[in-house]
Protein backbone atom coordinates (compact mmCIF):
# COMPACT_ATOMS: atom_id res chain seq x y z
CA UNK A 1 0.00 0.00 0.00
CA UNK A 2 1.18 3.52 -0.49
CA UNK A 3 1.29 6.84 -2.22
CA UNK A 4 1.07 7.40 -5.96
CA UNK A 5 2.06 10.70 -7.59
CA UNK A 6 -0.78 11.56 -9.98
CA UNK A 7 -0.40 15.02 -11.48
CA UNK A 8 1.74 18.10 -11.05
CA UNK A 9 1.33 21.85 -11.49
CA UNK A 10 3.28 25.02 -10.94
CA UNK A 11 2.71 28.76 -10.84
CA UNK A 12 5.16 31.65 -10.71
CA UNK A 13 4.58 35.39 -10.83
CA UNK A 14 4.99 37.05 -14.25
CA UNK A 15 7.46 39.62 -12.97
CA UNK A 16 11.07 38.61 -13.71
CA UNK A 17 13.78 40.26 -11.63
CA UNK A 18 17.24 39.84 -13.15
CA UNK A 19 20.57 40.08 -11.34
CA UNK A 20 21.30 43.25 -13.28
CA UNK A 21 18.12 44.80 -11.95
CA UNK A 22 19.15 43.96 -8.36
CA UNK A 23 22.59 45.43 -8.90
CA UNK A 24 21.01 48.78 -9.74
CA UNK A 25 20.02 49.21 -6.08
CA UNK A 26 22.39 46.82 -4.25
CA UNK A 27 26.17 46.58 -4.00
CA UNK A 28 26.27 43.36 -6.03
CA UNK A 29 26.69 42.19 -9.62
CA UNK A 30 25.31 39.66 -12.06
CA UNK A 31 28.73 38.02 -12.13
CA UNK A 32 28.95 37.62 -8.32
CA UNK A 33 25.42 36.24 -8.01
CA UNK A 34 25.86 33.79 -10.89
CA UNK A 35 29.24 32.57 -9.70
CA UNK A 36 28.42 32.26 -6.00
CA UNK A 37 24.83 30.97 -6.30
CA UNK A 38 23.99 29.96 -9.90
CA UNK A 39 20.97 32.25 -9.92
CA UNK A 40 20.38 34.38 -13.04
CA UNK A 41 16.88 35.67 -12.36
CA UNK A 42 13.88 35.08 -10.12
CA UNK A 43 10.11 35.71 -10.07
CA UNK A 44 8.63 38.18 -7.61
CA UNK A 45 4.98 38.87 -6.80
CA UNK A 46 1.61 37.37 -5.92
CA UNK A 47 0.79 35.71 -2.60
CA UNK A 48 1.24 32.20 -1.23
CA UNK A 49 -2.53 31.70 -1.44
CA UNK A 50 -2.97 32.89 -5.02
CA UNK A 51 0.12 31.14 -6.41
CA UNK A 52 -0.71 27.99 -4.43
CA UNK A 53 -4.30 27.88 -5.69
CA UNK A 54 -3.17 28.23 -9.30
CA UNK A 55 -0.53 25.51 -8.94
CA UNK A 56 -3.13 23.29 -7.21
CA UNK A 57 -5.68 23.85 -9.95
CA UNK A 58 -3.09 22.94 -12.58
CA UNK A 59 -2.04 19.81 -10.70
CA UNK A 60 -5.67 18.63 -10.53
CA UNK A 61 -6.11 19.32 -14.26
CA UNK A 62 -2.87 17.46 -14.99
CA UNK A 63 -4.08 14.48 -12.94
CA UNK A 64 -7.52 14.68 -14.58
CA UNK A 65 -9.29 14.69 -11.22
CA UNK A 66 -12.14 16.85 -10.03
CA UNK A 67 -11.93 19.10 -6.99
CA UNK A 68 -14.65 17.15 -5.16
CA UNK A 69 -12.46 14.03 -5.14
CA UNK A 70 -9.79 15.74 -3.01
CA UNK A 71 -10.19 14.83 0.65
CA UNK A 72 -7.32 16.82 2.20
CA UNK A 73 -5.38 19.95 1.26
CA UNK A 74 -1.87 20.29 2.67
CA UNK A 75 0.09 23.47 2.12
CA UNK A 76 3.81 23.63 2.81
CA UNK A 77 4.73 27.26 3.35
CA UNK A 78 7.16 29.36 5.35
CA UNK A 79 5.34 32.52 4.32
CA UNK A 80 1.61 32.18 4.99
CA UNK A 81 -0.41 35.20 3.86
CA UNK A 82 -1.70 35.69 7.40
CA UNK A 83 -0.96 34.14 10.80
CA UNK A 84 -4.61 33.05 10.92
CA UNK A 85 -6.44 31.53 9.22
CA UNK A 86 -4.07 29.06 7.59
CA UNK A 87 -3.34 29.91 3.94
CA UNK A 88 -4.38 26.39 2.94
CA UNK A 89 -7.97 27.39 3.79
CA UNK A 90 -7.79 30.21 1.22
CA UNK A 91 -6.48 27.74 -1.36
CA UNK A 92 -9.27 25.27 -0.53
CA UNK A 93 -11.87 28.04 -0.84
CA UNK A 94 -10.44 29.20 -4.17
CA UNK A 95 -10.71 25.62 -5.47
CA UNK A 96 -14.25 25.18 -4.08
CA UNK A 97 -13.21 22.64 -1.45
CA UNK A 98 -14.53 22.08 2.06
CA UNK A 99 -12.33 19.12 3.01
CA UNK A 100 -9.74 19.57 5.80
CA UNK A 101 -6.95 21.98 4.94
CA UNK A 102 -3.86 22.81 6.95
CA UNK A 103 -0.43 24.42 6.67
CA UNK A 104 2.90 22.74 7.38
CA UNK A 105 5.98 24.85 8.12
CA UNK A 106 9.37 23.14 7.94
CA UNK A 107 11.02 26.03 6.06
CA UNK A 108 12.75 24.88 2.87
CA UNK A 109 12.18 21.22 3.78
CA UNK A 110 8.46 22.00 3.91
CA UNK A 111 7.42 20.16 0.77
CA UNK A 112 9.17 17.00 1.97
CA UNK A 113 7.73 17.19 5.49
CA UNK A 114 4.26 17.75 4.04
CA UNK A 115 4.78 14.81 1.66
CA UNK A 116 5.62 12.64 4.66
CA UNK A 117 2.48 13.93 6.40
CA UNK A 118 0.43 13.16 3.29
CA UNK A 119 1.85 9.64 3.23
CA UNK A 120 0.62 9.13 6.79
CA UNK A 121 -2.83 10.52 5.97
CA UNK A 122 -3.14 8.31 2.89
CA UNK A 123 -2.12 5.19 4.76
CA UNK A 124 -4.73 5.85 7.43
CA UNK A 125 -7.90 6.37 5.44
CA UNK A 126 -7.58 9.34 3.10
CA UNK A 127 -7.87 8.64 -0.61
CA UNK A 128 -6.60 11.71 -2.44
CA UNK A 129 -4.56 14.67 -1.25
CA UNK A 130 -3.67 17.95 -2.89
CA UNK A 131 -0.19 18.86 -1.68
CA UNK A 132 0.93 22.39 -2.45
CA UNK A 133 4.21 24.19 -1.76
CA UNK A 134 3.78 27.95 -2.06
CA UNK A 135 5.94 30.87 -0.99
CA UNK A 136 5.87 34.64 -0.99
CA UNK A 137 9.39 35.07 0.40
CA UNK A 138 9.86 38.48 -1.24
CA UNK A 139 7.52 39.98 1.35
CA UNK A 140 9.98 39.03 4.11
CA UNK A 141 13.14 40.16 2.36
CA UNK A 142 14.88 43.42 3.19
CA UNK A 143 15.56 44.63 -0.33
CA UNK A 144 18.50 46.64 0.97
CA UNK A 145 20.19 43.48 2.28
CA UNK A 146 22.24 41.92 -0.49
CA UNK A 147 22.80 38.74 1.56
CA UNK A 148 19.17 37.66 1.26
CA UNK A 149 17.81 39.73 -1.65
CA UNK A 150 19.86 37.87 -4.24
CA UNK A 151 18.63 34.45 -3.07
CA UNK A 152 14.94 34.37 -2.18
CA UNK A 153 11.95 34.43 -4.53
CA UNK A 154 8.26 33.59 -4.97
CA UNK A 155 6.50 30.63 -6.58
CA UNK A 156 4.37 27.52 -6.08
CA UNK A 157 4.30 23.86 -7.05
CA UNK A 158 1.65 21.22 -6.39
CA UNK A 159 1.02 17.52 -6.71
CA UNK A 160 -2.03 15.27 -6.46
CA UNK A 161 -1.34 12.17 -4.36
CA UNK A 162 -3.50 9.05 -4.43
CA UNK A 163 -3.71 6.10 -2.09
CA UNK A 164 -3.01 2.75 -3.78
CA UNK A 165 -3.56 -0.46 -1.87
CA UNK A 166 -1.33 -2.31 -4.33
CA UNK A 167 1.85 -0.34 -3.77
CA UNK A 168 3.42 3.07 -3.62
CA UNK A 169 5.98 5.29 -5.31
CA UNK A 170 7.78 6.31 -2.11
CA UNK A 171 10.33 3.69 -1.10
CA UNK A 172 12.03 5.40 1.82
CA UNK A 173 12.00 8.58 3.83
CA UNK A 174 14.58 10.15 6.14
CA UNK A 175 13.73 13.39 7.94
CA UNK A 176 15.34 15.29 10.76
CA UNK A 177 15.56 18.51 12.73
CA UNK A 178 18.35 20.20 14.68
CA UNK A 179 16.73 23.01 16.63
CA UNK A 180 20.07 24.01 18.18
CA UNK A 181 20.94 25.48 14.76
CA UNK A 182 17.84 27.70 14.74
CA UNK A 183 19.71 31.01 14.81
CA UNK A 184 21.51 30.29 11.53
CA UNK A 185 18.46 31.27 9.49
CA UNK A 186 15.56 33.20 10.98
CA UNK A 187 12.73 35.59 10.25
CA UNK A 188 11.04 37.31 13.19
CA UNK A 189 7.43 38.59 13.17
CA UNK A 190 7.41 41.83 11.23
CA UNK A 191 11.08 41.38 10.39
CA UNK A 192 13.17 40.03 7.55
CA UNK A 193 15.07 36.87 6.77
CA UNK A 194 18.59 36.79 8.21
CA UNK A 195 21.20 34.13 7.71
CA UNK A 196 24.70 32.94 8.46
CA UNK A 197 25.20 31.86 4.86
CA UNK A 198 28.55 30.15 5.27
CA UNK A 199 27.45 27.94 8.15
CA UNK A 200 24.12 27.11 6.47
CA UNK A 201 26.09 26.09 3.38
CA UNK A 202 28.43 23.84 5.36
CA UNK A 203 25.67 22.09 7.27
CA UNK A 204 23.38 21.85 4.23
CA UNK A 205 25.87 19.75 2.30
CA UNK A 206 26.35 17.46 5.29
CA UNK A 207 22.66 16.86 6.05
CA UNK A 208 21.78 16.36 2.37
CA UNK A 209 24.56 13.79 1.92
CA UNK A 210 23.83 11.94 5.17
CA UNK A 211 20.06 11.82 4.73
CA UNK A 212 20.33 10.89 1.04
CA UNK A 213 22.72 8.05 1.80
CA UNK A 214 20.44 6.72 4.51
CA UNK A 215 17.37 7.02 2.26
CA UNK A 216 19.11 5.05 -0.51
CA UNK A 217 20.26 2.43 1.98
CA UNK A 218 16.72 2.01 3.33
CA UNK A 219 15.40 1.70 -0.24
CA UNK A 220 18.04 -0.98 -0.92
CA UNK A 221 19.72 0.94 -3.75
CA UNK A 222 22.96 2.84 -4.34
CA UNK A 223 23.65 6.19 -5.99
CA UNK A 224 24.32 4.36 -9.27
CA UNK A 225 20.65 3.37 -9.39
CA UNK A 226 19.44 6.97 -9.14
CA UNK A 227 18.34 8.42 -12.50
CA UNK A 228 17.23 11.79 -11.24
CA UNK A 229 18.00 13.96 -8.21
CA UNK A 230 15.40 16.60 -7.42
CA UNK A 231 17.16 18.77 -4.85
CA UNK A 232 16.07 21.85 -2.96
CA UNK A 233 17.14 24.82 -5.07
CA UNK A 234 19.18 27.07 -2.78
CA UNK A 235 22.62 27.33 -4.36
CA UNK A 236 24.16 25.50 -7.32
CA UNK A 237 27.36 25.01 -5.30
CA UNK A 238 25.48 23.17 -2.55
CA UNK A 239 23.94 20.86 -5.17
CA UNK A 240 27.35 20.28 -6.80
CA UNK A 241 29.11 19.58 -3.50
CA UNK A 242 26.42 17.15 -2.31
CA UNK A 243 26.20 15.40 -5.69
CA UNK A 244 29.95 14.95 -5.83
CA UNK A 245 30.06 13.41 -2.35
CA UNK A 246 27.19 11.09 -3.26
CA UNK A 247 28.94 10.02 -6.48
CA UNK A 248 26.17 11.41 -8.67
CA UNK A 249 27.06 13.47 -11.77
CA UNK A 250 25.36 16.82 -12.33
CA UNK A 251 23.62 15.54 -15.49
CA UNK A 252 21.31 13.60 -13.18
CA UNK A 253 20.52 16.64 -10.98
CA UNK A 254 17.62 18.93 -11.77
CA UNK A 255 18.55 22.62 -11.59
CA UNK A 256 15.95 25.38 -11.95
CA UNK A 257 17.39 27.88 -9.47
CA UNK A 258 18.99 29.77 -12.37
CA UNK A 259 15.48 30.87 -13.39
CA UNK A 260 13.55 30.81 -10.11
CA UNK A 261 16.04 31.40 -7.26
CA UNK A 262 15.31 29.85 -3.88
CA UNK A 263 11.54 29.37 -3.53
CA UNK A 264 11.76 27.34 -0.29
CA UNK A 265 8.83 24.89 0.02
CA UNK A 266 8.06 25.32 -3.68
CA UNK A 267 11.48 24.51 -5.05
CA UNK A 268 11.28 20.70 -5.16
CA UNK A 269 7.87 20.56 -6.94
CA UNK A 270 9.00 23.34 -9.31
CA UNK A 271 12.14 21.37 -10.11
CA UNK A 272 10.21 18.14 -10.56
CA UNK A 273 7.70 19.85 -12.85
CA UNK A 274 10.52 21.24 -14.99
CA UNK A 275 12.21 17.82 -15.20
CA UNK A 276 9.00 16.18 -16.36
CA UNK A 277 8.31 18.91 -18.92
CA UNK A 278 11.78 18.21 -20.31
CA UNK A 279 11.15 14.47 -20.61
CA UNK A 280 13.48 13.52 -17.77
CA UNK A 281 10.97 11.50 -15.71
CA UNK A 282 10.45 7.86 -16.73
CA UNK A 283 8.35 5.24 -15.03
CA UNK A 284 10.27 2.51 -13.25
CA UNK A 285 13.26 4.77 -12.60
CA UNK A 286 14.54 5.79 -9.18
CA UNK A 287 14.68 9.41 -8.09
CA UNK A 288 16.08 11.06 -5.00
CA UNK A 289 14.18 14.03 -3.57
CA UNK A 290 16.25 15.92 -1.03
CA UNK A 291 16.02 19.19 0.84
CA UNK A 292 17.17 21.21 3.83
CA UNK A 293 16.17 24.45 5.45
CA UNK A 294 15.88 26.69 8.46
CA UNK A 295 15.46 24.87 11.73
CA UNK A 296 17.64 23.24 10.65
CA UNK A 297 15.46 20.70 8.97
CA UNK A 298 16.32 18.13 6.32
CA UNK A 299 14.59 15.39 4.38
CA UNK A 300 15.42 12.86 1.69
CA UNK A 301 13.20 10.33 -0.02
CA UNK A 302 13.76 7.70 -2.67
CA UNK A 303 10.84 7.34 -5.06
CA UNK A 304 10.18 5.11 -8.03
CA UNK A 305 7.76 6.61 -10.50
CA UNK A 306 4.86 4.35 -11.42
Residues catalogued as catalytic: 108, 232, 262
Restricting to residues 143-162, which ones interact with ligand COA according to CB under 6 A?
Answer: 146-147, 150
Total residues at the site for ligand COA (CB under 6 A)?
Answer: 20
Among 110, 168, 261, 293, binds ligand COA (CB under 6 A): 293
| CA–CA separation, 75 and 285 (whole Å) | 27
165: exposed, middle or buried (C-beta count within 10 Å: 0-12, 13-18, 19+)? exposed
Pairing of strands 154-164, 128-136: antiparallel
Residue 294 CB, shortest distance to ligand COA, in Å, is: 6
Among 70, 121, 234, 303, binds ligand COA (CB under 6 A): 234
Residue 44 CB, shortest distance to ligand COA, in Å, is: 16
Q: Which is nearer to ligand COA, 160 or 185 (CB)?
A: 185
Q: Which is nearer to ligand COA, 151 or 281 (CB)?
A: 151
Among 198, 224, 279, 283, binds ligand COA (CB under 6 A): 198
Upper half-sphere CA count for residue 16 (Cβ side, 13 Å): 8
| CA–CA separation, 238 and 231 (whole Å) | 10
Select the residue whose beta carbon is closest to ligand COA and give its number: 197
| CA–CA separation, 246 and 224 (whole Å) | 9
Among 34, 36, 139, 245, binds ligand COA (CB under 6 A): 36
Residue 246 CB, shortest distance to ligand COA, in Å, is: 18
Q: Per residue in 119-148, is it b (16+ CB within 10 Å) or e — as a string?
A: bebbeeebebbbbbbbbbbbebbeeeebeb
**8 A C-beta contact, residue 294 and residue 185:** yes
Residue 257 CB, shortest distance to ligand COA, in Å, is: 10
Among 204, 205, 239, 303, binds ligand COA (CB under 6 A): 204
Q: Per residue in 172-204, is it b (16+ CB within 10 Å) or e — as a string?
A: bbbbbeeeebeebbebeeeebbebebeebbebb
Binding positions for ligand COA, rule: CB under 6 A: 28, 32, 36-37, 108, 146-147, 150, 185, 195, 197-198, 200-201, 204, 234-235, 238, 262, 293
Amino acid sequence: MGVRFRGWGMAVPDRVVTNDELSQTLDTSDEWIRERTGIRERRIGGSSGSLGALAGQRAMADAGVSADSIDFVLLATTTPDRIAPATSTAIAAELGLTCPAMDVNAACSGFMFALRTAQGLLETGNKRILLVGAENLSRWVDWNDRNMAVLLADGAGAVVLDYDENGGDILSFVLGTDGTAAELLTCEHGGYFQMDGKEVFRRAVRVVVDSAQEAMERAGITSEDISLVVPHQANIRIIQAAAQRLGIDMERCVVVLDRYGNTSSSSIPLAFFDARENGRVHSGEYALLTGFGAGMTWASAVVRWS
